[in-house]
Structures are given as structure tokens and as C-alpha cells.
Amino acid sequence: GANLSGTILAKVKLRGADFSKVRLFYGDISTASPRDRLTLPNFDTGEYTGAVVEESDLWDAIDLSEENRRYLCMWGGNKTRRTIPGGCDGIPNRLGR
């Protein structure tokens, strides 16, 4: 596994990537959010600790944990959401685009 929290994965092709034991954020999924250049991360709550995943391509990604799938659905935006194994039904698009 790899620690990808805080990394810029926007517009990255991750087709078929193995996500076993990968960390995309710290803290709780309900408060985790992508990194921000102007705001310090809060590693307890997860605010501003996550990877930036907008417009990433995740077709056929494997071993995606439920928490990582939810994070990707919440913060990936419409393009990323269409490529996530297992889909994003019932998970809000917190990116808003």
C-alpha cells in the first residue's frame, strides 16, 4: 500500500491500479477533504488531508476499500464518479461539479 494523502492525482489515469492498503486521506470519511494550498491540514478530523482526485480515471481499479471508494465519489467530481468500480449511488458529490 501507499500513502497518497495530500497528493495531486487530478486527471491521472489509474485504470487497473491496485488500491490495496492505499491511504487517500486521514481522519474520518465524514470530515475528510482534499488538500488545500492555503489551509493547514487537520490530521485528527481529516480536513484538507486528502488526495486531489478530480477527473481521475479509475476504470477496473482493484481492492478499493469502501472508505476510499466513498472518498473518491465525494471528491472526484462527475468525471471521476463515472469511472469508480462499484459506482457512487447514494454518495453525495461534495465537489459540486
The tens digit of pLDDT for each residue in 63-95 reads 999 999 999 999 999 999 999 999 999 999 999
Q: Give the number of domains in the chain.
A: 1
Owning domain of residue 18: 1-89
> What pLDDT was estimated at residue 8?
98
Q: What pLDDT does 1 receive?
A: 82
Whole-angstrom Cα distance, residue 50 to residue 25? 4
What pLDDT score was predicted for residue 48?
98
> Does 5 map to a domain?
yes
* 66 φ/ψ angles, rounded to the nearest 5 degrees: -60, -40
Residue 58 belongs to a domain: yes
pLDDT at 97 over 90: no
What average pLDDT does range 43-52 have in this prediction? 98
Q: Domain for residue 95, yes or no?
A: no
Q: Largest Cα–Cα distance in the chain?
A: 34
